[in-house]
Structure formats: structure tokens, C-alpha cells
Structure 1
Amino acid sequence: MTKLSVNINKLATLRNSRGGNVPNLITSTQDIESFGAEGITIHPRPDERHIRYQDARDLKKIVATEFNIEGNPVPKFIDLVLEVKPTQVTLVPDAEDAITSNAGWDTIKHKDFLVDVINTFKTNGIRTSIFVDPDPKMVEAAALTGTDRVELYTESYAHEFAKGNKEAAVAPFAKAAEAAQKVGLGLNAGHDLSLDNIQFFKQHIPSLLEVSIGHALICESLYLGLENVINMYLHRLK
């Protein structure tokens, strides 16, 4: 089975846009887990424009499934992860001003840095994962850092899938997954996975342990839930 970890960043963005506490992240997280999600993912950024560092502390108290914190391991982020001690930390090389993650690690160039950071987390009992592009060389080099898993950056898959190039879209990911198996790494995936493309991806990546999905899942929830909510309003107005 591949676990579904729901990224709740978009809920925090919506909350922050009004300055209040709606939607309530604690209640939303508990609901998401009660609906069957097997993990909760957050990606706090230095400017805290969606998930705030305090959210990580508050969520740690109530998450009953796996708790995954993603981010660039700058000192402030490392301190937060060591304080909260989530189930998993996913290292993502995103710039401070990045709208969203847009590349995986060069695990060859940054090997020494990653070794030090990963050792710090693993010493504290935190499972580690490295965000990488679907390149077997990057996956193989990731194994030399001591990480437990890699997370394949799936934007290129989603883009090509939407153009109808399904087989070509998934091919590099199948090769990267094979490389991960050969070097003994667990395999996660995330970014732009959706209801449209997730099944085909899973069928071709049988070793997939976990997917982290946020933007598409929240958008799809709006689309699929709008009719119900509109009718509830109409009922109350009659």
C-alpha cells in the first residue's frame, strides 16, 4: 500500500488571507485523518506565508498519523524539526522566495552538507527523505548521504501526462524507482500529483511508499464539494 500524506499548506494560506483562524488547521487536520489520510505534511517557509512555525508545534500535539515536515534545512528549519520531532523530515532545496518547490537536490554536489544534516536528524530518531529529480545518478548519490528515503519530484510527470504522453512521462520515474530499490532507499513522490494522474503513476511505480499531495487535493475538494455546500445554503435560505 502507498500511504497518502495530505499537505495542508493551502488551508493555512486560506486562513492567513483573512487574518483569523478559519479554516482551523487543528480541526481540519483531525477531520482529514478521520477521513482516512495516513499522514499530514507541512512545508513551513522562512516568511511563514502559509504554514507558521507555531503551526508545526501545535500540530505535533494532535497528529495521530505520520507527521512530515518539508523544507530547506536552514538553521531555523533545523531547529524547528529538532524541537517538534516529526515522523519524517523531507529536505527540499527551495529558495526563500520560491512560490513552490521547483527542483530536487544535486546529491553529488551537496553530499557533504546533506550527510551532516541527515546525521543530525537521524541521531534524533527522525526519518529522513531527500527531494530529488527522477535521475538515477541523483538517487544513487542520495544513498551515500545516509538518508532513509528519496522523494521524487513529479512536476515533469504531471506536465507530460496532461499532454497525453503517459508512457514517456512515467518512464524516467520508473528508472529512478529501480535505482532506489537497488541502493536500498525507500521511495516517496510528490508535486502536482492529482486524481487524474495518480493511478497511472502508482501502477508503474509499485515500490512507492508514500505520496504527499496538497494543491490538487484541496482544489479537487472544492470542485467536488461545491454542489453540496451551495445546496446547503439554498436549503437554509428557503
Structure 2
Amino acid sequence: MLTLGVNIDHVATVRQARRTTEPDPVAAAVLAELGGADGITVHLREDRRHIQERDVRCLRQTVQTHLNLEMAATPEMLAIALEIHPDYVTLVPEKRQEITTEGGLDVVTSQTQLTQIVQELQSQAIPVSLFIDPEPEQIRASQQTTAQWIELHTGTYALTKQEHDRHRELERLTVGAKLAQELGLRVNAGHGLTYQNVYPVACISGMEELNIGHSIISRAVLVGLTQAVRDMKRAMKGEV
């Protein structure tokens, strides 16, 4: 059954804007789980622009579903992940100047480095997912790293305005998911998904989890986080 991972980074974004103690991402995780979240996702960035190490440590102690730690493939982040031991890690590209993640990892050109990190994490029973664009060469390279999952980058699909272009991007995601499963990879997806565009992605055969943050947190400002998560679960079923 398709599950929902709720990314709570932007709860911390609001907190860090004033360098205060609220809103608390840990409290947000509790409310998200009460609303039906199947997992909690956080991205510990190298510049610590939102989520902090303390948040991740507290979340590790309080999350009742599963904790997905998004992180760059660096020695610093590897050490943190090995210490905190999240339920799984998603390796993502990271540039300090970007507003949000702009695309998938280039696994093809970084395969040796990524393989080392993947194998070190998985040797400590921390499964790894690679955040990639739905390109066959990236999917095949991901399988070669021995990562158990990929997370397909849905940002291009989400930002496409023209209907025929959106259908083309959805087909890329569908074909990519099928290839990944044929190669023995498990498939998640995320980035830019909203209440309006999530259902077609949710219908892709074999999709296991969608990781969604900004749209849910935006709605939560108006209706509360628990309700916003419930609404997204309904949207994933095509009920809104």
C-alpha cells in the first residue's frame, strides 16, 4: 500500500527565521503522525538552514513510524547518520546557493563515491535511497551502488504547466519506476507534489512512498498539520 512520508523541514524554516524555539519540528512530527503520516522526513543540510542536529536526535527518540534522513553524501553527514541511526537515509544533491533541491543525484559520475557511502550505511543496517531523476542511466547506476531504494525526482513533473508536457513527464516517471523494479530496486518519489498533482504519481505501479513537505506545511498554516496530512492522504487516493 502506498504510504506518505511528511517532510517537516519548513516547520524548522519558520523557527530559524527568528532563531527561537518555536514552532518545534518534533511537535510537528507528532501531529503529522496523528494525521496519518506513515513516516517523517527531514533534510539535515550542511548549512543548517532549517533542521538542526538536535532536531534529528530528538526525532530519533520520538518518531513512532519511521525516520527518513535526507543528507548530502559527505563524510560529516555520514558520521552523523551512523551515530543517530535513522530508519533509512536518502542521499540527495546539495548546493548552498539553492532555495530547494533542484534535481537528482548524478549517480553515473559519482558512482564510486556513492557506492562507498551506501555500503557503509547498509553494513550498519541503515537502508539507503538515492534521489535521482527518472533517467535510465541514473537508475541503472543506482542499482550498481547496491542501494535498496531510489526516490524519483518529481519536480519537473510538478512544475510543468502544459498538459501534454505533464503527461510526458508522468510517462518518464512511470517508465523509470518500472525499470527500477525490474532491476530489484524499491521506488519512492517526491519533490514539488501538491494536493492537485499527487494522484497520477500515486497511481504509478509499484510506488511505495511519496515524500511531501512544502504543500502540506503550507496548508497546515491554515487548517492545522493533522488535518493537512489527512487531506493529503485523501488526495493520494484521488478523493479531493
Distance 2:95 2:69 in 1: 16
Question: 1:26 matched to which residue of 2?
Answer: 26
Q: Which residue of 1 aligns with 2:53?
A: 53
Q: Distance in 1 between matches of 2:123 and 2:69?
A: 17
Question: Equivalent residue of 1:99, what SS?
Answer: coil
Q: Alpha-carbon deviations, 1:22-50, whole Å to 9, x = none?
A: 11222221111111100000001112110
Which amino acid counterpart does residue 45 of structure 1 have in structure 2?
R
Structure 1 unaligned segments of length 5 or more: list them. Answer: 229-238
Counterparts of 1:154-193 in structure 2, within 5 Å, are 154-160=154-160, 162-165=161-164, 166-193=166-193
Superposed CA offset, 1:38-81 (max 9, x none)? 00000011121100111111110101111000011211111111
Amino acid at match of 2:100: T
Whole-angstrom distance in 2 between the partners of 1:209 and 1:151: 10
What are the superposed Cα offsets for residues 104-149 of structure 1, whole Å, 9 maximum, x if unpaired? Answer: 1222211111110001100110010001101012101110000000
Deviation string, structure 1 residues 177-208 (Cα, Å, up to 9, x no partner): 111011010001110011101111112x1211
Partner of 1:135: 135
Deviation at 1:164, TM superposition (A): 2.6
2:82 counterpart of 1:82: yes
Work out which of the two has the higher radius of gyration on C-alpha atoms and give 1 or 2: 1
Give the aligned length: 225
Measure, in 1, the Cα distance between the counterparts of 2:117 and 2:98.
22
State how far apart, in whole Å, the 2-side matches of 1:142 and 1:206 are: 20
Letter in 1 for 2:217: I
Give the whole-Å Cα distance in 2 for the aligned partners of 1:198 and 1:131: 18
1:209 match: secondary structure: strand
Matched-pair contact (CA < 8 Å) for 1:94–1:103: no
Contact 1:134 1:172 in 2 (8 A): yes
SS state of the match for residue 30, structure 2?
Answer: helix
Task: Assess, with a 3 A threshold, how the Cα gap between structure 1 residues 4 and 147 changes in structure 2: closer, same or farther.
Answer: same
Which runs of no fewer than 5 residues in structure 2 stay unpaired?
A: 228-240
CA shift for structure 1 position 221:
2.3
1:37 aligns with: 37
| Residue of structure 2 equivalent to 1:64 | 64
Report the Cα distance in structure 2 between the residues aligned to 1:19 and 1:95, rounded to whole angstroms.
22
SS of residue in 2 equivalent to 1:70: strand
SS of 1:196's equivalent in the other structure is: coil
Equivalence for 2:147:
147
Q: 1-side partners of 2:28 and 2:103: how far apart?
A: 29
Asked if the contact 2:148–2:185 (Cα under 8 Å) also holds between the matched residues in 1, the reply is: yes
* Whole-angstrom CA distance in 1 between matches of 2:138 and 2:159: 21
- Is 1:66–1:87's contact at 8 Å kept on the other side of the alignment? yes
Larger relative contact order, structure 1 or 2 (CA cutoff 8 Å, min sep 6): 2
C-alpha distance in structure 1 between counterparts of 2:96 and 2:78, whole Å: 15
Question: Equivalent residue for 1:109?
Answer: 109
Distance 2:137 2:46 in 1: 30
Aligned ranges for residues 184-223 of structure 1 at < 5 Å? 184-203=184-203, 205-223=204-222
In the alignment, the residues of structure 2 paired with residue 130 and residue 111 of structure 1 have an alpha-carbon distance, to the nearest angstrom, of 11
Please, what TM-score do these two structures have when normalized by structure 1? 0.90
Alpha-carbon separation, structure 2, partners of 1:28 and 1:159: 27
Distance of 1:169 and 1:222 partners within structure 2:
30
Counterpart in 2 of 1:124? Answer: 124
Counterpart for residue 94 of structure 1: 94
How far residue 224 of structure 1 moved from its aligned partner, in angstroms, is 4.3
